[in-house]
Amino acid sequence: MTDEKTKSNFWKPLFITLGIIGGLIVICITAVIIAIIVFKPFDLNLDDIPSIINSDITESSYDHPLLTEDQEIVLESVGIDVSALPTEITQEQIDCGIEALGQERVLEIMAGSAPTFTDIIQAQHCY
């Protein structure tokens, strides 16, 4: 009888602790989701995300002189109006991009590589 009581004394607090930790994780995830919906960081509009995911954009609606077709498609897919972007790149913008993304990544993008979502968020303040 003593062994059963000892086993019970070990497992019960362990499961209670795991349950509390799991509950706190669920609460934190819910709080983050609510904060994203309410505060809209990075000027993201969550209403556009389902349409972005479901839409098959195959060509850009605007021919930007500094962007490739793939770059335009990526930017339009995350809700950026390509026609509102500057048509000339200043040295300040290049320096800002290098500071935000690093020299190597900026050179890749300037050579035609499509910017990733992370690139767009990190360098958003530069344009």
> Beta-carbon neighbour count of residue 74 at 10 Å?
21
CA distance 119 to 110: 13
pLDDT at 126: 81
- The domain spans of the chain are 2-39, 57-126
What is the per-residue pLDDT for 69?
80
Percent of the chain with pLDDT over 90: 16
Residue (of 69, 63, 84) closest to 114 by Cα position? 69
Q: What pTM was estimated for this model as a whole?
A: 0.43
| Dist CA 120 CA 54 (whole Å) | 20
Reply yes or no on whether the pLDDT at 55 is more than 70. Answer: no
Tokens of 96: 């800002």
